[in-house]
Structure 1
Amino acid sequence: MSQTTQRQETDGRITEEQIAAGNRAYELDREHVFHSWSAQDQISPMTVLDAEGSWIWDGEGNKILDLASQLIFTNLGHKHPKVIEAIKEQAEKLCTVAPQHANDARSEAARLIVERLAGDINHVFFTNGGADANEHAVRMARLHTGRHKVLSAYRAYHGGTHLAINLTGDPRRFASDKASDGVVHFMPAYTYRSYFGAEDDKQEAERAFNHLRDVVMLEGADQVAAIVLEAIPGTAGIYLPPPGYLESVQQLCDEHGIVLIFDEVMAGFGRAGKWFAHQHFNVEPDIVTFAKGVNSGYVPMGGVAMDDAIYATFAERVYPGGLTYSGHPLAAAAAVAAINAMDDEGVIDHAQRLGAEVIGPRLEELKDRHPSVGDVRGVGAFWAIELVQDRETREPIAPYGQTAPVMNEIMAECRRRGALPFMNMNRLHICPPLNISEEDVLFGLDVVDEALRLADDVVERK
């Protein structure tokens, strides 16, 4: 049992003037800001006054460990000096430029990105974020193949724009999905909550793939432009595909001329302990989409990295798409600095070691001790704790698509004790900055350990 973890006191970093300014910011936020994925009158957003490394300071000046990397994008933490300096230097050199012109920051960012992917992925189309990256990836696949249908998994998340929300397989699409955009969903490979009655990873890989193959056949293989998959699903629960599954999916795509798109928006750039999560498996996609961690989220950027075959389709044919801020110099300079810093500082190896030697073992201890913990899983700095009412039946602590009151209570308790994980439905996600210290991550896990007693109480009362 870890020692009781108490909330850290304010450390004097935040002044009374900053707190007053934060109070004013909150008032203006409530008067004028419309927040995403929220009922506006039911939220009370936390004010953030400052941030550095793996820590943030809230509106009251309290120091809180950022176990969520915000929305899982500050892969290098807050205020990394090399990225900050690169943005400053680029702003003084060339602050912005239209996308039709070449500039050194964008060119170098593209080179660094493709160097970390398969040998035939040599080109990048830059976007503003992950949703539009997925939109453009599908557009490219449709034009490349001359087909329209696109297959994506239930439970997946691919973004909030029009097509991306239809690609999404979780309940957030319900209000906007009119089933009119050529998207067909299939059941994911998810051993813990198998849709196929699988008892282990081997069965899950075989049965989930057979299901997908049947969907392709029933939809018409010559009608399917692309299969879109998160290499490791993120907000859906950080469940790694069972060994052999992705390899079979690639073979299926190759057999029928289907473009294989891996959404690496959340899992890419070291989050899973490798440059890209699909590199844990013996697969080579046709397209990789990215965003978030490419520059630690300091300036918005996303992109579509494509292989030579996709690129060749548009060598003599106009690609009908573009964005005003595609490859924005400030974002590109931040990406160059972030990628180089990851290399120079051994950040990805550090994340891999933290997952294997610190986070994973510590979460297994929590699982053994807390009856509310049904499963823990992950890799690198990308982990989930799945909470259940009954370990035997695996009944989640709230029905799928809903959030039990105790989850909000757990998050409040974590914040009170000085750490904030990521929450989705019946899960807590542990996704700290990749360069977090072992000491800090253990502090955060101790906080979660204490807060999970609230979920245990729910199980014991049942």
Structure 2
Amino acid sequence: MTDDLDQAATALDREYVFHSWSAQASLKLPVIAGGLGTEVWDFAGNRYLDFSSQLVNVNIGHQHPAIVKAIQEQAATLSTIGPATANLTRGQAAQRILSKTPAGFKKVFFTNGGADANENAIRMARLHTGRDAVLSTYRSYHGNTGGAIVATGDWRRMPNQFARGHVHFFGPFLYRSEFWATTPEEESARALHHLERVIQSEGPQTIAAILLESVPGTAGIMIPPPGYLAGVRALCDRYGIILILDEVMAGFGRTGRWFAFEGYDVVPDLITFAKGVNSGYVPVGGVIISDEISATFDDRVFPGGLTYSGHPLAAASIVASIDAMESEGIVENARRVGADVIGPGLAALAEKHAMIGEVRGEGVFWALDLVTDRATREPVGADVIGRLKSAMTARGLMPFSADNRIHVVPPCVVTDDEVARALDIYDEAFSAVSA
């Protein structure tokens, strides 16, 4: 019976579902029947530690009872209502989110996800400043809608160049430095000099916003070097540019803080969020708006809206998620387990396996940068990543990979014992592939 269900799920998927970022004919996808906490399983009962958090969004873990209950109760009360109404749950969700921001933020604009959060943040910055250009880094991912994908720096923007006014620059990344730096301080100073020269060369009077991931996620979990984000803030202030920090992946516990930027002496003008705000139980995202930018639209129409903006099921899931994260110490757990267990464990793996060129991260947000040679830092190829993923899956772990990296990104509720199990699986997989 279980085999029949697996086969039926696979057959239906192959016949009718068109998948993102994929050549359709060669897909071989796992079937997932259920999940709880940090584990998922198929119909045959094979269980996997989810060290991908799916798309690095299931921060509170699978099937958290408080969130499931909140969605069920909201569905029984009011399943949907348009954004041109006031709704108690929507207001409570915005209030919960704003309770975690620094002073100076007063409004939340709800979207359906992270990409349209970035789209609307860009729109707000352009309307507020009367300028057009948006600067973002080459090593970045901001979503797959018209403007967000062009703001993205990696290859995925190239077939999708439909939006105007986007300029890219190199952000700091000492391990693969574009600036011939040898220390974090040098990398920070030289990256800031580069950014200022780009601003000056493009014309400060044309630039509406700089859009940055507080900690770039899909691009490699690159922790900002000392002074970098504060330096970007200073450049924005000097030239009258809006600073948008993309917290879609890094926010709501992922770095062991409510917002990643809290660790870097910076306060942006606009904050975008999605993913971890409710662990993806219902699609939702949004823009947290500073007082100054919010006031721009007090007597001026904001020309943007979405049918499902502030959807009550999504709002209920946000309220329940933030309340559970507070009462259960989930953000604190992410910070502790990252510092005390994941970080040291991955460092020990790197000592053992020469393929691991660098370990970087914080909280439950880590990357293993894999190389063929530590001296040259030449990245491993897709074939190596494919074999590693297969070896990990066969041993009961669902991995996350990007380019030449394995990202170690479990839910924020992960336990020490679960990390120990995962580290053993990583160790075995690296040994098998190296052999």
Given candidates 420, 427, 433, the residue that maps to 2:411 is 433
Matched-pair contact (CA < 8 Å) for 1:128–1:303: yes
Separation of aligned partners in 2, 1:455 and 1:239:
26
Matched-pair contact (CA < 8 Å) for 1:19–1:61: no
Per-residue Cα deviation, 1:279-338 (whole angstroms, up to 9, x for no partner): 111100000000001001100000000101110111100000100000100000000000
Given candidates 10, 31, 50, the residue that maps to 1:66 is 50
**What's the secondary structure of 1:446's corresponding residue?**
helix
2:393 corresponds to which residue?
415
Given candidates 195, 201, 209, the residue that maps to 1:212 is 195
Structure 2: segments with no counterpart, 5+ residues: none
Per-residue Cα deviation, 1:141-174 (whole angstroms, up to 9, x for no partner): 0000000000000010000111111000011111
1:34 corresponds to which residue?
18
Structure 2 CA distance for partners of 1:105 and 1:19, relative to 1, 3 Å: farther
1:231 counterpart letter in structure 2 = S
**What's the secondary structure of 1:260's corresponding residue?**
strand
Structure 1: segments with no counterpart, 5+ residues: 1-15, 399-403, 458-462
Structure 1 position 442, deviation (Å): 1.2
1:244 corresponds to which residue?
227
Separation of aligned partners in 2, 1:132 and 1:441:
34
Q: TM-score, normalised by structure 2?
A: 0.99
2:178 corresponds to which residue?
195
1:126 counterpart letter in structure 2 = F
Given candidates 75, 80, 103, the residue that maps to 1:119 is 103
Instruction: Kindly indicate whether residue 237 of structure 2 is the aligned counterpart of residue 254 of structure 1.
Output: yes
**What's the secondary structure of 2:179's corresponding residue?**
coil
Instruction: Kindly indicate whether residue 128 of structure 2 is the aligned counterpart of residue 153 of structure 1.
Output: no
Given candidates 338, 346, 349, the residue that maps to 1:363 is 346
Structure 1 position 59, deviation (Å): 4.5
Separation of aligned partners in 2, 1:29 and 1:138:
36
Separation of aligned partners in 2, 1:47 and 1:99:
36
Separation of aligned partners in 1, 2:390 and 2:15:
24
Instruction: Kindly indicate whether residue 426 of structure 2 is the aligned counterpart of residue 448 of structure 1.
Output: yes
1:164 counterpart letter in structure 2 = A
Matched-pair contact (CA < 8 Å) for 1:371–1:456: no
State the percentage of identical aligned residues. Answer: 52
Separation of aligned partners in 1, 2:123 and 2:433:
44
Given candidates 282, 297, 302, the residue that maps to 1:314 is 297
Instruction: Kindly indicate whether residue 2 of structure 2 is the aligned counterpart of residue 24 of structure 1.
Output: no
Given candidates 120, 137, 153, the residue that maps to 2:121 is 137
Per-residue Cα deviation, 1:9-53 (whole angstroms, up to 9, x for no partner): xxxxxxx3x542232121011001000000000111111011111
1:411 counterpart letter in structure 2 = K
Given candidates 93, 103, 109, the residue that maps to 1:109 is 93
Given candidates 83, 87, 102, the residue that maps to 1:99 is 83
Given candidates 72, 82, 89, the residue that maps to 2:66 is 82
Given candidates 263, 267, 270, the residue that maps to 1:280 is 263
**What's the secondary structure of 1:319's corresponding residue?**
coil
Separation of aligned partners in 2, 1:213 and 1:455:
44
Per-residue Cα deviation, 1:74-111 (whole angstroms, up to 9, x for no partner): 10110100001100111111111001111111101101
Separation of aligned partners in 1, 2:402 and 2:248:
17
Separation of aligned partners in 2, 1:242 and 1:456:
32
Instruction: Kindly indicate whether residue 163 of structure 2 is the aligned counterpart of residue 183 of structure 1.
Output: no
Instruction: Kindly indicate whether residue 277 of structure 2 is the aligned counterpart of residue 294 of structure 1.
Output: yes
Instruction: Kindly indicate whether residue 321 of structure 2 is the aligned counterpart of residue 334 of structure 1.
Output: no
1:419 counterpart letter in structure 2 = L
Instruction: Kindly indicate whether residue 246 of structure 2 is the aligned counterpart of residue 263 of structure 1.
Output: yes
**What's the secondary structure of 2:33's corresponding residue?**
strand
Given candidates 40, 45, 65, the residue that maps to 1:56 is 40
Separation of aligned partners in 1, 2:100 and 2:109:
16
Structure 1 position 386, deviation (Å): 0.6
**What's the secondary structure of 2:337's corresponding residue?**
helix
**What's the secondary structure of 2:160's corresponding residue?**
coil
2:22 counterpart letter in structure 1 = S
Per-residue Cα deviation, 1:378-421 (whole angstroms, up to 9, x for no partner): 000000001001101111113xxxxx211111101101001112
Of stretches 126-135 and 446-455 in structure 1, the one that deviates more from structure 2 is: 446-455
Separation of aligned partners in 1, 2:3 and 2:144:
33
Aligned length: 435
Of stretches 447-456 and 277-286 in structure 1, the one that deviates more from structure 2 is: 447-456
Separation of aligned partners in 1, 2:43 and 2:430:
25
2:334 counterpart letter in structure 1 = A
1:406 corresponds to which residue?
384
Structure 2 CA distance for partners of 1:45 and 1:59, relative to 1, 3 Å: farther
**What's the secondary structure of 2:367's corresponding residue?**
strand
1:299 counterpart letter in structure 2 = V
Structure 1 position 60, deviation (Å): 3.5
Separation of aligned partners in 2, 1:106 and 1:22:
38
1:50 counterpart letter in structure 2 = G
1:160 counterpart letter in structure 2 = N
Q: TM-score, normalised by structure 1?
A: 0.93
Structure 1 position 175, deviation (Å): 1.2
Separation of aligned partners in 2, 1:58 and 1:374:
34
Separation of aligned partners in 2, 1:90 and 1:170:
39
Structure 1 position 454, deviation (Å): 4.5
Given candidates 377, 390, 399, the residue that maps to 1:394 is 377
